Structure 1
Amino acid sequence: MLVRAIGKYKWLLTAALVTMLVEVGAALWQPSFMKDILSTMASLSLSTSGKVGKVSGYGIALIAIAVVGLIGSILNTIAAAKLAQAVSADLRENTFRKIQTFSYADIERFKSENLVVRMTNDINQIQMLLMMTFQILIRVPLLFVGSFVLSIITMPQLWWVIVVMVVLIVIVTGLSMRAMGPHFGAFQKLMDKINAIAKDNLRGARVVKSFVQERNQEAKFDKESDDLLGHNLTVGYIFAAMIPAFTIISQLAIFVAILFISFGITQSASFAQDQLGGIMSFIQYMMQIMFAIIMGGMMSMFASRGFVSIGRIRQVLEATPSMSFPDTPTETLSGDVTFEHVSFSYPDDEKPTLKDVSFELKSGQQVGIVGATGAGKSTLAQLIPRLFDPSEGTVKVGGKDLKTLSRKTLNSTVSIVLQKAILFSGTIAGNLKQGNSAATKDDMDRAAQIAQAAEFINRLPNRYDAEVVERANNFSGGQKQRLSITRGVIKQPKVLILDDSTSALDARSEKLVQEAFDKELKNTTTIIIAQKISSVVHADTILVMDQGRLVAQGTHNELVETSDVYRHIYDTQKAQGDDADE
């Protein structure tokens, strides 16, 4: 996944690697000049003026190498940053596109708040990992190997000091990584929980304040936040112990090296002249080795979070959607709807929500679906636009199995207006064009008239260009439902499903909507899911659901005479003053 994404930017990748090699080469080259400078100063065969000339030349070379290394470092940072930004942007876009292919069941499986964290926090972690990789992680082994080899070449008799130092630092790093690993795995899970709590609290702010639940919400948030803090502190404590441990090991190694050289100097003047310059270079290489291991350990700790995030993004990108659409030509279908022995169960439910449901609706019919809460009305309706696939049986529209239709064919044929009116930030026109991207002003006017939304839209100064704020909080519940109905009607579908989507309308507005449907949507199969019998009393046929089964079908008058379930609902609502207009 990540290799393919990086491969798209070969020139940035090449630039990052080349500039890194320049930076590492400069860092490895510098200590050798220090050896030459000290050897020149200790030389007995050169005059003072000769020594000054050679040392000046070495100094100029050192400055030149430092400048080259600095330029390489700057260019490496720029290339690595551009590469990390480009790859993370592609991953974010690909993840979002992949999520758009998910069905409701897939969204429920991953959880919406979890997907938001993956597209934001996890992508940011991957971006940081890429930056570190092309700035530090690849540089570390190059610097380590180069310094290790050059240090042994410089003072081969002290090879064992380097080996002991490296072994001790690797042991400390390994133990620290082992201790911190589980905490990094817990970070993202806790971020998911914190995001979910914050999202629910902000979305349900009115409920929280109405029931004075601020303290309870704070307690829930504090618990998860404290858990995250605990993991972060544990990592911090381990990290705080690592640096002093590395420093002690490296300083002891330097002490042993200097001690060994000092013994040689006291015993032989020629040894002092040969090794005096080498000891400075050797110490610098030792420090570079220590730096490489320390940086490798530190970056590995942070990289472990990045690898966790890579795994989480890979889960999304490699997930196989539970629902797929064939790439077939777009068809024009009739509004016939057929259910053939359809059963359906939600993933985590033991009992089926729908059980062996069969019926046939003719194009242009107005159909009502009634039943008690939990009878399966909404689930049945959501199978028609293929928001879910049935567990058993077949759903057909226009005589065609939904599984054989392309997404474009199905979307142009079926439109659903959900009970919960969801509008997006932007403008009214932007929301309506989600139903029909090519909708003209005349199309909007017609749909708004049918949905009785024109009444308040025409009062707005900007009409269809009026702003829709977050969660459409600048509109009432009834206005949001009418805008949702407008969006569903605007593409003139063959099948229109209203899932209790007039519940927030007053009796007058609901009656006007029904009259407009009768007049303007004569060729559209209109399926109305309702709690109130009065909303479907004039339907051509009414489906009665009870505990997931279709228990009766017919007109209002027929069902009052033949269906105990329907008659009970009707009598109850009539007794409560909800008189059906017969």
Structure 2
Amino acid sequence: MLYKFFVKYLKPYKKIVFIAPIFMLTEVIVDLFQPFLIQQIIDKGLGAGNINYVIRIGFFMCILSLIGILAGLSTIYLSSKISQNFGGYLREDTFKKIMSLSFKNLDHQSPSNLIIRLTNDVTQVQNLILMSFRILVRAPLLLVGSFFMAFFTAKSLSPIIVILVIVITVVLYIIVHKSTPFFTNSQKALDRLNTVLNENFTGIRAVKAFVREDYEINKFDKKNENLYSSSTKASLATALIMPFLMLCVNFGIVASLYFGGQFVIGGTLAVGQIVAFINYLLQILVSLLISGMLLMNVSRAIVSVKRIIEIHDMQPDITYKTETVDNIKGDVTFDHVYFKYSDNDEYILKDINFDAKAGETVGIIGLTGSGKSTLADLIPRLYDTTKGKVLIDNKDVKEYSEKSLRSQISIVLQKAILFAGKLNTNIRYGNQSASDIEVEEAAETAQAKEFIDKFPEKYEKFISQKGSNLSGGQRQRVSIARGLVGEPKILILDDSTSALDAKSEALVKEALANEHKDTTTFIIAQKISSIKTADKILVIDAGKLISIGTHEELLKSSELYKEIYESQLGKEA
């Protein structure tokens, strides 16, 4: 699976992937020749007093060094290009995948977790690709090449290398194997810390309003301590590599000088051979050091790769028919609909049956948690029914393509979510091709034109993130305008006038009735005054549709509706 993952994103750059190691191989060959040439200078040049030979070999070494530098720079350039493109396309694909997931899929993922996977995890994998072409290719080539060069340079000293390589390899394996769970725990701890940060920054006003700073700081400290603890363990394992390898390097040099010196005295080795052997030994140990550090990063990156693959392996809970164009009239039917969020949950909706004709206004009311919003979410197919069918124009919503369905149904949420950018861009979010006139008409219907005209920039006004520079009522009116600009056939207002005063709410409803007569409108409300004039009102209780009728009919036939009405009478009558 990991192999396929990397091949998928490296395939577009297969030529570069092939060329980069060739440059690296060139650089390694240059590095391998340097100790051999030094040996020649010492034994045949300095030892024989042949200065011309020293100058000639020295000049050749400079040429080789220049070739090595150019090859190294080429490798750096190509590996950087591969890694940056790899990271960019991986991040783009991951984002697209998240966007394709259904609400049910996303219910099990926190926003902070997804952000970490798109940023930190992708960066870890991107760095792995960069190091792979710059180091992962170089280290093994240099290791193997240096081993054979050392063997042929001073065969009698080769047992030193064999012993050191075996010891270092075993210790590195143990360290990497033991440290991998620490990196996994560290990533999870980072997820949990970011969740706390996201909650606090999003709900900073609530934190300050209830004077809960100390509580939140304490909660943050605990998560931060967990991250510190798990990161420290991972770093400690990494830190053990360097002193251990330095010990091996020093031991190898001492052993080479001790035994090599005896061979020189015995006349079986030359001084230049010992110098070359020590250089090759250092190259071997440096290669192992680099490999060890790289393996630690590989362990961390593999954890990130698996977390990214988890997202890519998710199958959208909702699949759509192929792209078709269906002109919706607006008839909506619920046919024995049951719904629950997961197999282990209780049913949120139970045996819901009703019809709404095109152009009708349908009010939905009930106690908190009765399933009103869930019912509305089934119409644009934000969730699929567990049992039963939702029909639009006598056609199951599952038979519509996503574009056909969502382009003709607008849902305005109670929490008005606006994006940083111009005000007209936010309204146009409901219909990218809407003209300036259509934007203004939608704003006028939503009673937003009144305050927009007071802005010096009018529709060009910059909206801060989440619309923080607008009041709650202004955000809701902009949100309603965004829902209306697409001329939807079905409009769902999910308690979306809760922040409006009674006068503004009445004007919005009047404008909707006049300007959108053919639109089937569902109004979810807590206040009876918001749905009093609806053509029919659905009374929901504990997921069941217990009553349906007009306001007057329900006052006579529904005890719950009458109870809600009387509880609001002082304010709403």
CA distance in 2, matches of 1:97, 1:69: 42
2:295 corresponds to which residue? 300
1:334 is paired with a residue of what secondary structure? coil
1:9 corresponds to which residue? 13
Extract unaligned runs of 5+ from structure 1.
Answer: none
CA distance in 2, matches of 1:99, 1:248: 48
Residue 383 of structure 1: how far off its partner (Å): 0.6
Counting only pairs closer than 5 Å after superposition, residues 20-169 of structure 1 correspond to structure 2 as 20-41=24-45, 43=47, 46=48, 48=49, 51-169=50-168
Extract unaligned runs of 5+ from structure 2.
Answer: none
CA distance in 2, matches of 1:233, 1:445: 57
Q: Deviations over 1:313-336 (max 9, x none)?
A: 111122111111111321101100
Counting only pairs closer than 5 Å after superposition, residues 257-296 of structure 1 correspond to structure 2 as 257-268=256-267, 271-272=268-269, 275-296=270-291
Q: Deviations over 1:64-86 (max 9, x none)?
A: 11222122222211221121111
Counting only pairs closer than 5 Å after superposition, residues 361-400 of structure 1 correspond to structure 2 as 361-400=356-395
Residue 297 of structure 1: how far off its partner (Å): 0.6
Amino acid at match of 1:415: S
1:358 corresponds to which residue? 353
Counting only pairs closer than 5 Å after superposition, residues 498-537 of structure 1 correspond to structure 2 as 498-537=493-532
1:416 is paired with a residue of what secondary structure? strand
Residue 356 of structure 1: how far off its partner (Å): 1.0
CA distance in 2, matches of 1:169, 1:437: 62
1:110 is paired with a residue of what secondary structure? coil
CA distance in 2, matches of 1:25, 1:16: 14
Does structure 1 retain, via aligned residues, the 8 Å contact 2:143–2:284? yes
Residue 348 of structure 1: how far off its partner (Å): 7.5
Length-normalised TM-score, structure 2: 0.97
Residue 229 of structure 1: how far off its partner (Å): 1.6
CA distance in 1, matches of 2:19, 2:419: 42
CA distance in 1, matches of 2:288, 2:127: 20
CA distance in 1, matches of 2:287, 2:192: 36
Matched, 1:578 2:557: no
Residue 349 of structure 1: how far off its partner (Å): 5.8
CA distance in 2, matches of 1:153, 1:388: 70
Does structure 1 retain, via aligned residues, the 8 Å contact 2:370–2:541? yes
2:217 corresponds to which residue? 218
Q: Deviations over 1:133-162 (max 9, x none)?
A: 111112111111111111111122222211
1:497 is paired with a residue of what secondary structure? strand
CA distance in 1, matches of 2:152, 2:11: 37
1:450 corresponds to which residue? 445
* Equivalent of residue 340 in structure 1, options 335, 340, 344: 335
CA distance in 2, matches of 1:252, 1:11: 43
1:496 corresponds to which residue? 491
Matched, 1:243 2:239: no
Does structure 1 retain, via aligned residues, the 8 Å contact 2:184–2:303? yes
Amino acid at match of 1:357: I
1:369 is paired with a residue of what secondary structure? strand
CA distance in 2, matches of 1:246, 1:261: 21
2:240 is paired with a residue of what secondary structure? helix
Residue 42 of structure 1: how far off its partner (Å): 6.2
1:109 is paired with a residue of what secondary structure? coil
Bigger drift between 337-346 and 150-159 goes to: 150-159
CA distance in 2, matches of 1:311, 1:233: 22
2:536 corresponds to which residue? 541
Residue 258 of structure 1: how far off its partner (Å): 2.4
CA distance in 1, matches of 2:314, 2:506: 46
CA RMSD after TM alignment = 1.4
Amino acid at match of 1:515: E
CA distance in 1, matches of 2:173, 2:554: 75
CA distance in 2, matches of 1:12, 1:212: 58
Percent of matched pairs sharing the same residue: 39
Q: Deviations over 1:187-225 (max 9, x none)?
A: 211111111111111111111111111111111111111
CA distance in 2, matches of 1:230, 1:468: 41
Amino acid at match of 2:492: I
Matched, 1:462 2:457: yes
Residue 179 of structure 1: how far off its partner (Å): 2.8
Amino acid at match of 1:8: P
Residue 455 of structure 1: how far off its partner (Å): 0.7
Amino acid at match of 1:424: F
Does structure 1 retain, via aligned residues, the 8 Å contact 2:189–2:230? no
Q: Deviations over 1:242-293 (max 9, x none)?
A: 222212222222222222222222233xx24xx3221111111111110111
2:421 corresponds to which residue? 426
Q: Deviations over 1:515-574 (max 9, x none)?
A: 111111110001100101111111111011000000111111111111111111111111
Amino acid at match of 2:35: P
CA distance in 2, matches of 1:349, 1:475: 41
CA distance in 1, matches of 2:52, 2:187: 60
Amino acid at match of 1:230: S
Counting only pairs closer than 5 Å after superposition, residues 406-425 of structure 1 correspond to structure 2 as 406-425=401-420
Length-normalised TM-score, structure 1: 0.95
Number of matched residues? 569
CA distance in 2, matches of 1:66, 1:427: 57
Residue 344 of structure 1: how far off its partner (Å): 0.8
CA distance in 1, matches of 2:416, 2:525: 15
CA distance in 2, matches of 1:477, 1:184: 43
Bigger drift between 451-460 and 7-16 goes to: 7-16
CA distance in 2, matches of 1:203, 1:150: 62
1:9 is paired with a residue of what secondary structure? helix
CA distance in 1, matches of 2:140, 2:115: 36
1:330 corresponds to which residue? 325
